[in-house]
């Protein structure tokens, strides 16, 4: 099997070129079938079924029996491809489906998520990725275990990793279930397990190696599915070929329309929908509140997300797969560029949707709105609603309500784009959710199989046995995640942001200080991780479980700030009160600073024996 690897890797450009071409041809085929009138079911099945089939095929072809292939893709993924894989790993169902809707409803406040979810990569590139790559770990807890002398630190790392990644993966399986249930017309609880089967197909046989190459394929699908409809909209609405630069002109118009429709005046009333999650516009589209409290909330949320980015194990471990330290650094830059392509399109889409909403829908006659095809369709699934508050027979801004997801899912229909575009968007959303779920599941399963089983429980296990255990754990964690997702505990976005705060509370400080502060020692790290993680989690419980008032405006999305501050103070204090780390560890910290030479962990293990 592994004999096929070099061939495959030498021909990456060719293979993915053919793949992208094939995908375009498939879209064209769907477009032709759609025009010929084969019906929407065929188109939905076609898009979702075809893409899942491709991912599964890549997953099977990339199967492996080698430990280093399974855990770090043989450390042979070129920077640009690792960038694409990281971008797919990163951009979840939430980024794809909910982001534009969030900007649509929340306005300026939501841009703190855009800044936070991109700025974190500067921290990844400068503080962590190259050094962890030189260290030569398989997993993030691997680094903690070696740097902080022993299996206890490793185990603490696994606990934090498990909580933050499981919080995150649950919402991704939820998103795959939502899309699968709509495409195949099966109940959500069942669709969740369909989604899981798709996820496991990609990762089970080939581990990191298979996930890497499916994620690259998924990135191509998701970025095309996101940008193409927006460019098309832009052309239909006469805004030119570059919507990302053109939407500025609409912002002032939107502000005027908002005033015209009474936003922010006392007379402005919004209707209530009986459907869950359906709401009317209540915030200005771009106007920012610039008082001290708003700025503080903006900055704290941004920081939580950035620190979380730099400590989420499924992202950090992607940079373990590059051939060199140099490529790890460059790869972070490519990752962010590929992420940027979607993130700078989202506000354009939100702005077009908002302009269409205010200019064309608000102010029309109620009967005409009810007669619109797309409105009837989305109302039927409880994603859109209209309540005539003042009974004047005209659609008011506060009377027309949609769910945030509708901005991405239904805007093509609103603009009269053909149905196959919606099929493409569904395939993109599925790619986004699948790729993130894959990365997360693998991060959890690898930590449990490599760190807990391979290093703590049974260090003598053969490579063969370790891989079998890794796969069994992967399936187990997947079923656990799907079972939790089937309970529908949180919305897609809430779960995602909590994951960032969990990761930031327990991992950010020990990882950064582990690289940058030689004096940080075992006692400090253990105390810091425990104190940070427990205090962050308790603060979340205080807010949500006990109904406590936020301290310093730090609400449940920002509990990572509390965890990080506690973690930092405790870790520094305890480190200084106890003896400095042994010489071998200090030498290892020195060694990770220089890209040249063999992995630092090897030298350390030799010196240690």
Partner 1 sequence: MDKEILDKHWQSSRRLLWKVLAAWFFFAYVIHLFVGALNEATVGGFPLGYYFAAQGSLFAFVVIIFCFARAQEKIDTAHGVDEETGGAAATVTKTPAGENQ
96 counts as binding partner 1 under rule CB under 8 A = no
Q: How many CB atoms lie within 10 A of CB 291?
A: 8
288 counts as binding partner 1 under rule CB under 8 A = yes
263 counts as binding partner 1 under rule CB under 8 A = no
At residue 216, the 3 state secondary structure works out as: helix
Among 324, 359, 490, 586, binds partner 1 (CB under 8 A): 324
252 counts as binding partner 1 under rule CB under 8 A = yes
Q: What is the DSSP letter of 110?
A: G
Q: What is the DSSP letter of 580?
A: P
332 counts as binding partner 1 under rule CB under 8 A = yes
Q: How many CB atoms lie within 10 A of CB 124?
A: 26
Among 51, 86, 92, 112, binds partner 1 (CB under 8 A): 112
Q: Please, what's the b/e burial string for 359-374 (b: 16 or more CB within 10 A of its CB; e: otherwise)?
A: eebbeeebeebeebeb
Measured between alpha carbons, how far is 115 from 120 in angstroms, rounded to an integer?
A: 8
Least distance (Å) between residue 359 CB and partner 1: 16
Quick one: which segment of 106-114, 180-188, 367-375, 571-579 binds partner 1 (CB under 8 A)? 106-114
**Token duo for residue 305:** 């997300």
Quick one: which segment of 214-222, 339-347, 411-419, 489-497 binds partner 1 (CB under 8 A)? 339-347
CB-nearer residue toward partner 1: 97 or 330: 330
At residue 490, the 3 state secondary structure works out as: coil
Quick one: which segment of 286-294, 312-320, 499-507, 571-579 binds partner 1 (CB under 8 A)? 286-294
Total interface residues for partner 1 by CB under 8 A: 51
Among 19, 45, 108, 237, binds partner 1 (CB under 8 A): 108
Quick one: which segment of 11-19, 284-292, 308-316, 432-440 binds partner 1 (CB under 8 A)? 284-292
130 counts as binding partner 1 under rule CB under 8 A = yes
What residues contact 329, with CB distance under 8 A and at least 6 apart?
A: 125, 129, 130
Site string for partner 1, 225-244 (x = CB under 8 A): -------------------x
CB-nearer residue toward partner 1: 548 or 597: 597
Q: Do residues 482 and 190 lie in contact, with contact meaning Cβ atoms separated by under 8 Å?
A: no
336 counts as binding partner 1 under rule CB under 8 A = yes
CB-nearer residue toward partner 1: 34 or 591: 591
At residue 520, the 3 state secondary structure works out as: coil
Calculate the dihedral angle through the C-alpha atoms of 2, 6, 8, 9, rounding to the nearest 10 degrees: 130
Least distance (Å) between residue 595 CB and partner 1: 5
Least distance (Å) between residue 520 CB and partner 1: 17
**Token duo for residue 254:** 């939107």
Among 85, 125, 307, 316, binds partner 1 (CB under 8 A): 125
Q: Do residues 232 and 421 lie in contact, with contact meaning Cβ atoms separated by under 8 Å?
A: yes
Measured between alpha carbons, how far is 147 from 143 in angstroms, rounded to an integer?
A: 6
Q: What is the DSSP letter of 23?
A: H
Length of the chain (residues): 609
CB-nearer residue toward partner 1: 200 or 250: 250
569 counts as binding partner 1 under rule CB under 8 A = no
Q: What Rg do the C-alpha atoms of the chain give, in angstroms?
A: 25
Measured between alpha carbons, how far is 233 from 243 in angstroms, rounded to an integer?
A: 9
Q: Do residues 100 and 428 lie in contact, with contact meaning Cβ atoms separated by under 8 Å?
A: no
295 counts as binding partner 1 under rule CB under 8 A = yes
384 DSSP β-pair partners: 402
Helix (H) or strand (E) holding 386: strand 384-386
What residues contact 492, with CB distance under 8 A and at least 6 apart?
A: 93, 94, 97, 98, 171, 174, 175
127 DSSP β-pair partners: none
340 counts as binding partner 1 under rule CB under 8 A = yes
Least distance (Å) between residue 336 CB and partner 1: 5
123 counts as binding partner 1 under rule CB under 8 A = yes
Among 143, 298, 559, 568, binds partner 1 (CB under 8 A): 298
122 counts as binding partner 1 under rule CB under 8 A = yes
322 counts as binding partner 1 under rule CB under 8 A = no
CB-nearer residue toward partner 1: 341 or 461: 341
Quick one: which segment of 192-200, 256-264, 333-341, 518-526 binds partner 1 (CB under 8 A)? 333-341
Measured between alpha carbons, how far is 504 from 499 in angstroms, rounded to an integer?
A: 9
249 counts as binding partner 1 under rule CB under 8 A = yes
Query: Which parts of 580-609 interact with partner 1 (CB under 8 A)?
Result: 590, 593-597
250 counts as binding partner 1 under rule CB under 8 A = yes
| CA-wise closest residue to 47 among 183, 222, 214, 165 | 183
Site string for partner 1, 347-386 (x = CB under 8 A): x---------------------------------------
Measured between alpha carbons, how far is 298 from 115 in angstroms, rounded to an integer?
A: 10
The site for partner 1 (CB under 8 A) is made up of 103, 108, 111-112, 114-115, 118-119, 121-123, 125-127, 130, 244-245, 247-252, 286-288, 290, 295, 298-299, 302, 306, 324-326, 329-330, 332-333, 336-337, 340, 343-344, 347, 590, 593-597
């Amino acid at each position: 099997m592994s004999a096929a690897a070099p061939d495959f890797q030498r021909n990456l450009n060719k293979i993915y070129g053919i793949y992208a071409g094939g995908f375009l041809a498939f879209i064209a085929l769907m477009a032709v079938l759609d025009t010929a009138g084969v019906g929407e079911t065929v188109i939905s099945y076609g898009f979702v079924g075809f893409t899942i089939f491709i991912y599964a095929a890549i997953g099977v072809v990339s199967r492996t029996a080698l430990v280093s292939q399974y855990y770090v893709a043989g450390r042979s993924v070129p920077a640009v491809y690792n960038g694409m894989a990281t971008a797919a790993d990163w951009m979840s169902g939430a980024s794809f489906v909910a982001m534009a809707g969030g900007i649509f409803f929340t306005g300026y406040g939501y841009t703190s998520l855009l800044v936070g979810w991109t700025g974190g990569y500067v921290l990844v590139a400068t503080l962590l990725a190259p050094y962890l790559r030189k260290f030569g770990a398989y997993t993030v807890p691997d680094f903690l275990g070696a740097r902080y002398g022993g299996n206890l630190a490793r185990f603490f790392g696994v606990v934090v990793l498990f909580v933050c990644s499981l919080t995150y993966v649950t919402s991704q399986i939820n998103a795959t279930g939502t899309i699968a249930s709509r495409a195949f017309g099966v109940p959500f609880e069942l669709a969740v397990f369909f989604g899981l089967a798709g996820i496991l197909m990609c990762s089970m046989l080939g581990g990191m190696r298979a996930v890497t190459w499916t994620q690259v394929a998924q990135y191509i699908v998701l970025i095309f599915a996101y940008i193409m409809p927006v460019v098309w909209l832009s052309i239909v609405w006469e805004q030119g070929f570059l919507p990302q630069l053109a939407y500025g002109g609409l912002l002032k118009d939107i502000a005027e329309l908002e005033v015209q429709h009474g936003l922010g005046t006392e007379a402005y009333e919004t209707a209530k929908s009986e459907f869950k999650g359906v709401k009317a516009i209540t915030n200005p589209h771009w106007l920012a509140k610039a008082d001290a409290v708003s700025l503080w909330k903006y900055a704290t949320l941004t920081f939580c997300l950035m620190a979380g980015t730099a400590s989420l194990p499924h992202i950090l471990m992607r940079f373990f797969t590059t051939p060199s330290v140099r490529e790890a650094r460059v790869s972070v830059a490519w990752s962010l560029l590929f992420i940027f392509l979607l993130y700078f399109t989202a506000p354009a889409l939100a702005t077009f949707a908002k302009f269409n909403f205010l200019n064309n829908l608000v102010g029309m006659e109620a009967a005409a709105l009810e007669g619109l095809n797309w409105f009837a369709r989305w109302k039927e699934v409880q994603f859109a609603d209209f309540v005539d508050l003042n009974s004047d027979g005209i659609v008011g801004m506060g009377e027309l309500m949609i769910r945030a997801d509708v901005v991405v899912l239904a805007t093509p229909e609103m603009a009269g784009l053909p149905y196959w575009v919606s099929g493409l968007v569904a395939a993109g959303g599925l790619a986004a959710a699948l790729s993130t779920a894959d990365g997360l599941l693998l991060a959890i399963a690898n930590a449990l199989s490599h760190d807990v089983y391979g290093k703590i429980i049974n260090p003598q296990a053969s490579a063969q046995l370790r891989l079998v255990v890794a796969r069994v754990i992967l399936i187990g964690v997947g079923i656990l995640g799907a079972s939790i997702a089937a309970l529908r505990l949180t919305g897609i976005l809430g779960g995602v942001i909590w994951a960032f705060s969990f990761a930031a509370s327990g991992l950010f400080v020990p990882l950064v200080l582990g690289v940058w502060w030689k004096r940080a020692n075992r006692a400090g790290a253990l105390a810091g991780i425990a104190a940070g993680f427990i205090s962050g989690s308790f603060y979340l419980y205080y807010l949500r479980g006990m109904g406590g008032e936020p301290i310093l405006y730090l609400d449940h999305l920002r509990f990572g700030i509390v965890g990080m501050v506690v973690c930092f103070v405790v870790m520094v204090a305890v480190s200084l009160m106890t003896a400095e780390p042994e010489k071998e560890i200090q030498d290892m910290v020195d060694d990770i600073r220089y890209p040249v030479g063999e992995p630092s962990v090897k030298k350390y293990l030799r010196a240690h024996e």
